[in-house]
Chains A and B, each alone.
Chain A
């Protein structure tokens, strides 16, 4: 280290240092950003760990055998998930389907669902949002005003002590 550097090193931080560090930050954020989806994957893993949840299997996509590839299921119309304890079927409809007005462009969707265990508490997590509804005595439920995006269901069948069930993420 040169004497100049020694002097510089022992001085208090000033505004130029703050500016340099901000530039360093912007540079790294640009060169090597946090991978997209990493925080969501972490949150999912933490949810699993915290809930000791069982993961449901994605069973079927859309009627008429229309399948996406293994990783992308967009846009979802109808999906079935199963575990040993229950099955969940959900159908997604856009209220303004076919209407290319402004509300359709930023529109929300409606999720109609049916779960084989009546009274199951169904939670849908889309981004930071969490919507919760209880399935009726026939196992039916409706969630309205759901934003588009990747979402997953957390199912809590009635009765204490049951592990919750969590589904893989699907594009809504």
Chain B
């Protein structure tokens, strides 16, 4: 009998590599024949993919299917990805395409990347709209998170989707990820970009907001 842990033998000296780097290491090892490393990749990247799918306004079970499909595509096309560093971007792009395909098939409104930006109403007006607020869900948030939630909800949809995904990756990966999300260059990283600037301006203008 033998006991194998897939995390055994992972380099630990590497000082806090980014998500992209860690994913590239696992993916490279997987392609070199360490089949166990795919499980590590799934654990690492599924949260980002989940929030990518949900940010496209898919319901829970459709989002699960879409994320699972993206992983199966990765295994099928593992050899076609030239740069292992690109694996996260490849998966995010695949989730977006698959989400788009599913939404179109079901005849639902497809979120596009070039929607005109709606003027963001004051957060108070948005939170008064019962249709966009599930009180049961918001109740699980801390007070500071609730305030943030109202400000995030006031952002244009595409900004909400961008920040939601970006928040789950590391700073050096922002620019590549926003590109994979179909956002124009400069949407975030190395500069703040418009979406984060909007959120920051809204929060700084809110006298009840404190950043801690």
| A residues at B contact (CB < 8 Å) | 1-2, 4-6, 8-13, 16-32, 34-35, 38-39, 41-43, 45-46, 49-50, 128-133, 143-145
Contacts and interface: CB of A to CB of B under 8 A. Distances in A.
A32 B51 contact: yes
Contacts of B197: 1, 5-6, 8-9
A133 B141 CA distance: 47
A21 B141 contact: no
Interface of B: 1-7, 35-36, 38-39, 42-43, 46-47, 50-51, 54, 60, 64, 67-68, 71-72, 75-76, 137-138, 140-141, 144-145, 148-149, 152, 163-164, 166-168, 171, 174, 188-194, 196-201, 203, 211
B201 A23 contact: no
Given A35-B60, A45-B72, 15 more contacts: A1-B198, A2-B201, A8-B192, A10-B191, A13-B189, A20-B196, A25-B167, A30-B141, A30-B145, A31-B141, A38-B68, A42-B67, A128-B5, A128-B6, A129-B4
Given A1-B194, A8-B201, A23-B145, A41 B68 contact: yes
A4 B201 contact: yes
A5 B201 contact: yes
A130 B4 CA distance: 6
B163 to A, nearest CB: 6
A20 B200 contact: yes
Contact of A8 (B38, B190, B200): B200
Contacts of A9: 191-194, 196-197
Contacts of B42: 39, 42-43, 46
A21 to B, nearest CB: 5
A13 B192 contact: yes
B164 A28 contact: yes
B166 A21 contact: yes
B89 to A, nearest CB: 18
A21 B163 contact: yes
Contacts of B166: 21
B47 A132 contact: no
Contacts of A2: 201
A166 to B, nearest CB: 14
Contacts of B203: 20
Contact of B2 (A6, A17, A23, A131): A131
A13 B67 contact: no
Contacts of B54: 32
A1 B7 CA distance: 47
Contact of A144 (B1, B76, B168): B1
Which of B168, B189, B197, B211 has its CB near the most chain A CB atoms (within 10 A)? B197
Contact of A45 (B68, B141, B167): B68
Given A4-B201, A31-B140, A131-B3, A19 B211 contact: yes
Nearest to B8: A128
A132 B1 CA distance: 5
Contacts of A145: 3
B80 to A, nearest CB: 16
B72 A31 contact: no
A130 B72 contact: no
